[in-house]
Structure 1
Amino acid sequence: MTVPASLPASGIALYSLPIAIVVAAVLDRTVAEPPVAVHPIALLGRVIEPIDDQYQSSFSVGILAAIVLPIGFATVFVATTAVVGAVSPVAAPIVVGVLLFSLFSHRMLIDTAAEVVGLIDDDLDAARVELRALAGRDAETLSAGELRSAAIESAAENLADGLVAPLGAFAVVGFLVQWYAVGAVDAVGSIGTGPIAIGVLPLSAGIAAAAWVKAVNTLDSMLGYPEKRVGTASARLDDVVMWFPARIAAAFISLAVPSPDPLLAGRRWANRPPSPNSGWPMATIAAALHVKLEKPGAYVLNDLGQLPTHDEADRGVSLASRAGWLFIGACVLVTAIGTPSGAI
């Protein structure tokens, strides 16, 4: 499958996906998070808050929210990409990289987990307060070891829903659409629309998938509690959406060791947490560190181990960080190396 050599900007268009991922990764590493005032997830949260406040017992409103809000959120990202792509297909990967950056979070969550671990030995109360930015559990009675466990668990779980899910959706959907678009350009031989077809369309599809997944995650995190009927549909949808990302995150944790043993050992405990997905990355990292991870009254991962020490917790946070960067690198390589040949 080839693209006519005379296509304007065909090279940039074909490599629009890896360019966007690199831009997003650089921003994540250097900036960490967009300002709250313009952060799309914060803005989405403001839309969800009235639903949480006024309709907690309404199952039907929850179904409507689970359908409409992710689609609406994704539409905003697609519209932005389409406008930029129509004006300048060459600029589209940069703009989409900025948009993608706003949809995943790696450095900030890793830094927060590391900060919790660092505070535990010096100021247990401050560590308990800081943990709230990572985990929803009550930290008031947690011991130092349980706090370290919570920090490691959060780093592993956030790897799945904070990075692998949105970025993976962007890379996979965008790549599939690009293959289809390149084939269409080959068949039609349309020179003028080539860069848009093979560059902007995959970017639009990828960013739509990433935004939709992130909106589903956000709805679940805000509404998906047993006592809130309005969040039932969002929670079930999130369970389905996160099935692959959770297991892929576990695989990359094992790859970062590198050894298949943590993934194989962690499978024994992956189903202990009530979530059908979050146990996979958490159990895998417990196996990789040879420690026990425990949420009191809920689950224990790796009964034969002990709660993590300071050094083990540091290693756990570093392992989650390394796994995340390996996944980012894999997405760049797959979208770049897997690009149809003959583009330039």
Structure 2
Amino acid sequence: MAAGVVLAAVGGDHLAGEPPARLHPVALFGRLVGPIDREWRAPRLVGSVAAVGLPLFAAVAVALAVWLAGDIAPLAGGVIAALILFSTISLRLLCTTAGDVLAQTDTDLAGAREALLALAGRDAADLSAAHVRSAAVESVAENLSDGFLAPLVGFGVASVVAGWWLSPGVTLPAATAAAAWIKAVNTMDSMVGYRSKPVGWAAARLDDLVMWVPARLTALAISAAALSPDPVLTGRRWARLPASPNAGWPMATLAAALGVRLEKPGHYTLNSVAALPTTAEGHYGVTLVGRAGWLTALATVVIVGV
């Protein structure tokens, strides 16, 4: 059942992309997070309670939905689980958006700068075409980890562990809850996990902890997609240059795989001896990310199917 859920979720992402925003469970969760993003007398305390409580609430709600549906009919539980897992992953939209940004750098730099905002939360107003391409490549690598691999692998690992210790009827709800919890943690970090927001301190620290393993697995997946161990072995030298303890791993690995420099001016430079990516190199980077995503999906199917 779990392998079928993964195949259905990944297939749905490939065929349909994102659910409508008004119905997207992640957007609905964002409405729960929104009210905490304001001034508080004890912002770290409020943020800590929210960082623990809101993702846990999402996970419990998901587990109950899958369990209740499965109690009615096993197939119904599988369908609900597939829909929820589908809502936690995004590969098609990620690659399509990055490809559109890269294409526009040759014909419409202003449009490329504006489109980049859907990928990277940085001020793009003064970025050159080459730096826009760099930002797109960096973001597609980082978001592969946050928006695809982490919830998918979380589902797979939880499915195996729950299968060892829990009854069959609880395994699928537990696995789906794990994917939802990871996505909720990451969503909170993306909304409030900034240095300028004390209320987001706990959300950012929790996301750093949760994403430690997925970021490094993403680097391995990108290297595997490039059919060589060299990108991850070379990229690890630059992986700690960004302030994030995790984001540098997939970005540095992709920089090494492409043989390009990836740079956020004033913050970090990965592979400083190379040139910034051309449009063709950027598109190949997106291809590698897509390939790495499919390899991850295949590995998850194998893990849960064993």
Give the TM interval when normalised to the shorter protein.
Answer: over 0.9
2:77 is aligned to: 92
Distance 1:79 1:271 in 2: 40
- 1:249 equivalent to 2:218? Answer yes
Identity %: 49
Question: Which of 320, 335, 344 lines up with 2:289 in the alignment?
Answer: 320
For 1:320, the aligned partner's letter is V
Amino acid at match of 1:88: A
Aligned-pair CA distance for 1:57: 6.9
Counterpart pick for 2:259 among 266, 270, 290 = 290
**CA contact 2:84–2:180 (8 Å) conserved in 1:** no
Distance in 2 separating the partners of 1:248 and 1:153: 16
Q: Is the 8 A contact 1:19 1:94 kept in 2?
A: no
Aligned equivalent of 1:150: 135
Counterpart residue type for residue 112 of structure 2:
A
1:54 deviates by 4.3
Q: Structure 2 regions of 5+ residues with no counterpart?
A: none
In 2, distance between residues paired with 1:59 and 1:123?
Answer: 43
CA-based RMSD of the aligned residues comes to: 1.1
**Cα deviation code 1:100-139 (max 9, x no counterpart):** 0001111111111011001111100000010000000100
Q: Paired residue for 1:136?
A: 121
Partners of 1:227 and 1:78 lie apart in 2 by: 34
Alignment of 1:115-194 (within 5 A): 115-181=100-166
Tell me the equivalent position of 2:229: 260
Q: Which amino acid letter does the alignment assign opposite residue 261 of structure 2?
A: K
Q: How far does the alpha carbon of each residue in 1:286-313 deviate from its partner, in whole angstroms, 9 at most, with x for none?
A: 0000000000000000011100001000
* 8 Å CA contact retained: 1:56, 1:230: no
CA distance in 2, matches of 1:55, 1:325: 43
- Can you give the 5+ residue segments of structure 1 that lack an aligned partner in the other structure? 1-15, 182-196, 339-344
Q: Aligned pair 1:270/2:239, yes or no?
A: yes
Instruction: With the length of structure 2 as denominator, give the TM-score of the two structures.
Output: 0.98
Q: Could you say if the C-alpha distance between residues 24 and 136 of structure 1 is closer, same or farther in structure 2, counting changes exceeding 3 Å? A: same
Equivalent residue letter for 1:119: Q
Match of 2:74, SS state, is coil
- Report how far residue 90 of structure 1 moved: 2.7
| Conserved? CA contact 2:58–2:180, under 8 Å | yes
C-alpha deviation, 1:91, in angstroms: 2.7
How far apart, in 2, do the equivalents of 1:115 and 1:57 lie?
43
Rg: which structure is higher? 1
Question: Of the two structures, which has the highest relative contact order with CA contacts closer than 8 Å and spacing of 6 or more?
Answer: 1
Paired AA for residue 72 in structure 2: V
Corresponding letter in the other structure for 2:269: V
TM-score using structure 1 length? 0.87
Cα distance in 1 between the residues matched to 2:47 and 2:40: 8
Contact 1:106–1:162, Cα closer than 8 Å, also in 2? yes
1:197-236 mapped onto 2 (5 Å cutoff): 197-198=167-168, 200-236=169-205
Query: Where has structure 1 moved over 6 Å in runs of 4 or more?
Result: none
**In 2, Cα distance between equivalents of 1:297 and 1:56:** 33
Whole-angstrom distance in 1 between the partners of 2:106 and 2:38: 38
Alpha-carbon separation, structure 2, partners of 1:103 and 1:48: 16
